[in-house]
Structure 1
Amino acid sequence: MTRLRSTAMYGLVSVTLLATAACGAGQDRAAAPAAPSGVTVQAGSATSAHVMWTPATADDGVHGYAVYRDDTKVEDVPAETTMVDVTGLSPSSRYTFTVRARGTDGTVSPPSARVSVSTPAAVAEDKEPPARPTGVRVTGDGPQGARLTWKRAPEGQGIVSYDIHQGGSKIHSVGGDATSARLTTLRPGTRYRFTVVARDAADNTSPESSAVEITTPHGPGDDPDTAPTDLKATVRAAQGGYYVDLSWLAPETDGEIPAYEIHLNGKFATTLVWGDKAPQGRATYTVHAGSTPGETLRVKLRAKLPDGTFGAFSEERSVVTSPSGQPGPDRTPRS
């Protein structure tokens, strides 16, 4: 009896040591992101589908997403994109979609839950768009949400889906029999403008509905500080004129900042749009400031945020074009 117990204990210790060694061997491997959640799929027309999912948090280390139709990858999108229109589908067909997250270190998550959708039947040659949606209303749904409603379309329109637009971009899609849509992941304390567009099976789209606007409230503890920070400005003389060299830190957002507006002396001066991926950390830009010596120039900028709205202005800096043609100092105290 004693010998049997000793053998069992030895086996238990051996298994424990093997398990500990296995854990230690895997510590050098980066953990893959979690599988994306909240995946939904909506037929957009007889040949397209709209796939959406819940965005990862900033701490998840997600670099992008891959969208799969059945077992074939059909789209790669960056981390700030959480929806995609998949085209080239066949009418009257059933498809299953999954989404995987890509980590910044190259790791790939397990697939999301599988979500199926059936495309409607093809229609005869049809170039007639659906009627414009009417009766659009918007109500608040907490600091980060809103609900849109509209009137049901007349019979015979053949509407397959409704697209929700914000800031000129489609941000959501629902089925053709829907008369409402719930929008989430909005920013607290921000004004939004929405329109609704109807789409039929032939992929014809209606004119946009009348626009509706709403300002999301501030939630407890929310800090909607969307202004660029640590703005620095110096002026220099070159090529017969003056140039203001700017540098700043981008506001912290859930996605990439696509553009900035720069204002001089309280007036819009220019728009900065990145030709490639926006820089990480400190950004720089030079703006032409005319050729008048001894002029005080006040400069500030604001970011176009990932949701299409503009954030708050940075602190304003003042510089002076020197009468001698040499750069004047930035007269704004630095914090």
Structure 2
Amino acid sequence: MRRVLLRAAVAGGALLTTVSCGLGGQDTGGGSGPPGAPAGVTAAAGSASSVHVMWNRAAGRPAVTRYEVYRGTTKVKEVPGSEHMADITRLEPSTEYAFSVRARDADGRLGPPSERVRATTPTATAADERAPSRPEDLRGRAAGSRAVQLSWSRSTDDRGVASYDIQQGATKIHSVGGSQTAAVVTGLRPGTRYSFTVRARDAADNLSPVSRTVRISTPTDGGGGGGGGGTAAGTGMAPTGFRAATHRADGAHYLDLSWTAPEVDGVITEYQIQLDRKPVTSLVWGATPPRGRATYSFYVGREAGLTQRVRIRAKLPDGTWGAFSAERTVTTGGRTAR
């Protein structure tokens, strides 16, 4: 796979653009074959000896009954199909690890591996028995009928906070890095009241006292219920007002995109663009990203009359992928089709 690093200028600051050539997308639509590869996989160090791995639900018929988590090529964890996260423990400090996830259905068929994601455990601290302070000022609000946004004040620790655990009731459902003080929890049920708390964790796995409890009710949308609390980002938090057009310059065709960032607690610095449901470009702002309307233009080739479908999604402040924008169809040398 060939990767080219470009630098471009857009409204709101400098943009670092990573263009991945030859990347294939993984759609996880149902069918008679094995389950698809889980999407939206993320990995973040929870302590000097643990990494928190999360992913989106994989579709398939029959339904997925369990997920297998791999460190490199070694299976290190297996969880039921209703769960979309796992804590991988007994790792070495100051070490980079690569993780992937595979889904297995009720017929025992194992789907392909997800994309591989990497995480580096922090340095171990000797004789650290002091826990971080309690996260204060926990706040939250519903973000549609199936998601909530949480934020809190930073904890302190004599060696530094490694991560924050988000709990639904007494169950840990999510983890974010120690530099983050916001999270998005998705996969919730409409018309349901939830209770959330947060705890800070340091590199020695010392846990802070639990924060105060925040209770949030998701509004009713009239649809069917989803699964329990989780972090799969397939619902909500999508860029809005997405528009796509093309222009021609110096014999080449360019795709012109514009959108409004999702409203989240925190800053969105990264987006993924897909053409015909395949990821082609990752956009990472090197300066302060635009908070409102953003624009971006990139080269798509010299062929006129080429029709492609385009959509975009944001990486949320908690490290998970949000939902895709509306999909637009464009033709080089023409106008937006729809």
**TM-score, with structure 2 as normaliser:** 0.56
In structure 2, what is the Cα distance between the partners aligned to 1:100 and 1:45? 24
Once the two structures are aligned, what percentage of the paired residues are identical?
Answer: 51
Structure with greater strand share of residues = 2
Task: Specify whether residues 157 and 213 from structure 1 end up closer, same or farther in structure 2 by C-alpha distance, changes over 3 A only.
Answer: farther
1:138-177 matched pairs, under 5 angstroms: 138-154=140-156, 156-177=158-179
SS at match of 1:85: strand
In structure 2, what is the Cα distance between the partners aligned to 1:42 and 1:60? 31
In structure 2, what is the Cα distance between the partners aligned to 1:223 and 1:103? 23
1:35-184 matched pairs, under 5 angstroms: 35-57=37-59, 61-154=63-156, 156-184=158-186
Question: What is the match of residue 328 of structure 2?
Answer: none
Note the aligned Cα RMSD (angstroms).
1.8
Moved more, 161-170 or 60-69: 60-69
Match of 1:136, as an amino acid?
L
In structure 1, what is the Cα distance between the partners aligned to 2:60 and 2:189? 15
Residue number among 213, 216, 223 corresponding to 1:214 in the alignment: 216
Task: Specify whether residues 134 and 214 from structure 1 end up closer, same or farther in structure 2 by C-alpha distance, changes over 3 A only.
Answer: same
Q: How many pairs align?
A: 198
Greater C-alpha Rg: 1
**TM-score, with structure 1 as normaliser:** 0.57
Task: Specify whether residues 96 and 196 from structure 1 end up closer, same or farther in structure 2 by C-alpha distance, changes over 3 A only.
Answer: same
Structure with greater helix share of residues = 1
Shift in Å, 1:108: 0.7
* Pairing 1:196–2:198 present: yes
Question: What is the match of residue 243 of structure 2?
Answer: none
* Pairing 1:33–2:35 present: yes
Shift in Å, 1:152: 2.0
2:169–2:196 contact (8 Å) kept in structure 1: yes
Q: Please, which runs of 5 or more residues in structure 2 have no aligned partner?
A: 1-30, 229-338
In structure 1, what is the Cα distance between the partners aligned to 2:186 and 2:63? 21
Task: Specify whether residues 155 and 128 from structure 1 end up closer, same or farther in structure 2 by C-alpha distance, changes over 3 A only.
Answer: closer
Asked which structure has the greater RCO (Cα within 8 Å, sep 6+), the reply is 2
Q: Please, which runs of 5 or more residues in structure 1 have no aligned partner?
A: 1-28, 225-252, 256-335
In structure 2, what is the Cα distance between the partners aligned to 1:32 and 1:223? 26
In structure 1, what is the Cα distance between the partners aligned to 2:190 and 2:59? 17
1:30–1:105 contact (8 Å) kept in structure 2: no
